[in-house]
Amino acid sequence: MLTRIDHIGIACFDLDRTVEFYRSTYGFEVHHSEVNEEQGVREAMLRINGTSDGGASYLQLLEPTRPDSAVGKWLEKNGEGVHHIAFGTADVDQDSSDIREKGVRVLYDEPRTGSMGSRITFLHPKDCHGVLTELVTSRTEH
């Protein structure tokens, strides 16, 4: 399945619903959650994987706890999401097929060639809480 990303922050209207989407669609689990009163957010850190240097990759999901918070104001203006997130996978064909079976629209019938000879496809942002999501198999993996 999906193996890597950098830490990406995603603003959302309903944290529980967004966490459930990432859990049921991709298999990511919450590593840490908290309410940051100063920032006016409730957050969940979804751990993607560890690295050989002891680090990890995460998605940070943010729900405002009050409309005047920075995230609340951003959501009001922009809606949920970021431009896109690129997830690495050893098998873009299989993973896109598995995700399609879960009801998420995959934008390409067959993966296409991306940067540096990679194979890519995108998932429809309306099925991914406003986030255009890219699946990437690097050239060295296929």
Which pLDDT tens digits describe the chain residue by residue (142 residues)?
A: 888 764 588 999 999 999 999 999 999 999 889 898 877 989 898 988 765 545 567 888 999 999 999 789 889 989 999 757 888 888 999 999 999 999 999 999 999 987 778 899 999 999 999 888 989 998 775 5
Reading the block at residue 72, the tokens are 């609340």
Q: State which amino acid sits at residue 103.
A: G
Active-site choice (29, 32, 60, 142): 60
- Based on the residue annotation, tell me whether 37 is a catalytic residue of this protein: no
Q: In three state form, how does the secondary structure of the chain look?
A: CEEECCCEEEECCCHHHHHHHHHHHHCCEEEEEEEECCCCEEEEEEEEEECCCCCEEEEEEEEECCCCCHHHHHHHHHCCCCCEEEEEECCHHHHHHHHHHCCCCECCCCCEECHHHCEEEEECHHHCCCCEEEEEECHHHC
Catalytic residue among 83, 84, 101, 142: 84
Known catalytic residue at 80 = no
Could you confirm whether 141 is annotated as catalytic? Answer: no
Q: Give catalytic status of residue 20 as yes or no.
A: no
In the set 39, 43, 94, 129, the catalytic residue is 43
